[in-house]
Amino acid sequence: MAIATTEIQNSSHLPSEAVHGSIVVKDNLGLSLGNTSEPFDIEYSIYGHLARPVIVVLGGITADRYVLGTKEHYVEKPASNEKKSQYSGWWGQLAGANNALSTDEHCIVSFNYISRVNLKSSAGNSLEYNLTPLDQAIVLKHLLDALGVSKRIKIIGSSYGGMVGLSFAEQFNDSTEQLTCISASDRSTHTARAIRAIQKGIFELADNSLQKHQALSLARQLSVLFYRTDDVFDTQFIDPAIQSPLGKVINFDQTIYSYLNHQGQKFANKTSIGNYEALLDSIDAHSVNPENIQCACNFIAVPNDRLVSYESMRRLAQNVKGKSEFYRLESIYGHDAFLKEFEQLNKLLKKILGESDESSTSYASC
C-alpha cells in the first residue's frame, strides 16, 4: 500500500510546472526475491500535467529525480546563454519550448533509485536486500499506480536508467508504449564487471571512517576514468611534471590527478560505501531477455563507450521483439555522452518522440 504526500492528495488541479514529493510504501511490495518487510519512501518529481502523455526519464547510477531542476529553480524556457546552476537539472538543457522534453507536450516523471530495502525471509525474519534494475522497475510501476497513471508510458533511460527501462519494458509490456535506451545493454560486459569487482575490493581494505571515505573516493575515480575517453583527457589536461627533489607534481590542478581527486572527494562527501556498493551489485545483477521486449524501441549507442559495448547494443536492437531503431551517437565523451551531447540528443529525441519529421538517415539509423 502506498500513501501519497499531501502535496498530491490535496491538489485541486494537476501540477503545471514542477512537483517534488514522495510516497510511503508501507510494506508487502513484491520484489523479485520477496516482499518488503518495512516501510520506505519513493521520492519523485513531476514536470507538467499528468493528463499529458507521460515520459519517464531515468539517468545514471548517481542520477536523482531532478531531471529538469528543482521547484524553486525550474525554468520552462531557459535562456540559451544562461549559465546552468546545480539546480537546473541534469537534463535541463533539453527542457523548454521546441525542445525534446517540453512540458507543453509531455509530462516528465522521474524518481530517486532505491539502493536497499528489508525483505521478509521464509523464517519470518527481516533481511537487507540490494535492489536490482528489475526491482527498480517494480518500484517505478508502484509509483505510477500511486500517481494514478494508467495509460501506457514512454521511457527514456540512460546508463543505469536504460537497464531499468529495459527491465520495465520486459516486465510491464502492457504499460509500455515506447522505450529509448541510451548507453545500456541487456547485460554487462566482462570489463565492466571487473571494474566493479575492483571497486568492491577497495572497499574491503577500509577499516575506519577515514579509510572508508578515501576508499569510496578511489572507487568513484576508477568509474570516472572509464566514463570518458583519452581524447577528452588529452584535450583537458597537461602532462604531469615532477618537481625534484620534493617529488611534487607541478601545476597539479591542471592534471588528471586533480580532476579525479576532485570527482572522488565530491562523491564521497555525499554518499556511503553501503549505498554505492548496493548499486554496483544492482548493475551486476542486470539481465533481460530481448525477445520478451515487445514495445517500440530506440537504441542510442556511442562507439567509443568503454563501459557499454556498442556491438552489444546493436545485437540487442536486432533481438528485441518489438519494432527497433538503432542510432549511432558520435562523441568524444564516451559513456558520458548523454550528459554532454545535448544538441545532438535534443535533435534525436525530438525525432524519436515524433516531434520532428527529419529523415532518420541523418542519425545513421539501421
Do 117 and 257 sit in the same domain of this protein? no
Say what the pLDDT of residue 244 is: 67
266 and 211 co-located in one domain: yes
Lowest mean pLDDT, pick from 4-8, 10-14, 237-241, 348-352: 10-14
Confidence of residue 356 (pLDDT cuts 50, 70, 90): low
Q: By the 8 A CB rule, do 180 and 205 touch?
A: no
228 & 156 share domain: no
> How many domains are contained in the chain?
2
pLDDT of amino acid 16: 53
The Cα–Cα gap between 113 and 103 comes to 23
Together in a domain, 236 and 301: no
* Residue 72 pLDDT exceeds 90: no
pLDDT band at 15 (very low <50, low <70, confident <90, very high): very low
Spatial separation of the C-alpha atoms in residues 132 and 123, rounded to whole Å = 23
Helix runs in 228-325, H state only: 230-236, 256-268, 273-284, 310-319
| Bigger pLDDT: 77 vs 100 | 100
Cβ-proximal residues to 222 (8 Å cutoff; 6+ apart), any chain: 195, 198, 199, 202
Task: Examine the domain organization and report whether 212 and 149 are in the same domain.
Answer: no
Convert the pLDDT of each residue in 214-253 to its tens digit.
Answer: 999 999 999 999 999 999 999 999 888 876 667 788 888 8
Q: Which grid coordinates belong to 232? A: 577528452
Same domain, 173 and 54: yes
**For the purposes of burial, counting CB atoms within 10 Å of the CB of 179, is it exposed (0-12), middle (13-18) or buried (19 or more)?**
buried
Rounded Cα gap, residues 305 and 251, in angstroms = 30
CA distance 362 to 366: 11
- Exposure of 90 by Cβ count < 10 A (0-12 exposed, 13-18 middle, 19+ buried)? buried
Q: In terms of domains, do 211 and 311 share one? A: no
Q: Are residues 80 and 32 in the same domain?
A: yes
Domain boundary among 282, 302, 335: 282
Domain final position from 282, 303, 325 = 282
Q: Taking the CB of residue 344, how many other CB atoms lie within 10 A of it? A: 17
Check whether residue 228 and residue 99 sit in a common domain.
no
Residue 36 is classified by DSSP as B
Residues 224 and 337 in one domain: no
Q: Does one domain contain both 219 and 325?
A: no
Sign of CA dihedral 260, 200, 284, 35: negative
CATH number of the CATH domain containing 167: 3.40.50.1820
Domain that residue 254 falls in:
194-282
pLDDT classification of 357: cutoffs 50, 70, 90: low
Helices (H), strands (E): how many in the chain? Answer: 10, 15
Long-range contacts of 317-321 (CB under 8 A, 24+ apart): 319/290, 319/291, 320/290, 320/291, 320/293, 320/294, 321/290, 321/291, 321/292, 321/293, 321/294
| Whether residue 246 sits in one domain with residue 142 | no
What does the pLDDT read at residue 361?
39
CATH number of the domain encompassing residue 216: 1.10.1740.110
| Contact by Cβ (8 Å): 333, 229 | yes
Question: Domain end: 228, 252, 282, which one?
Answer: 282
Residue 353 has pLDDT above 90, yes or no: yes
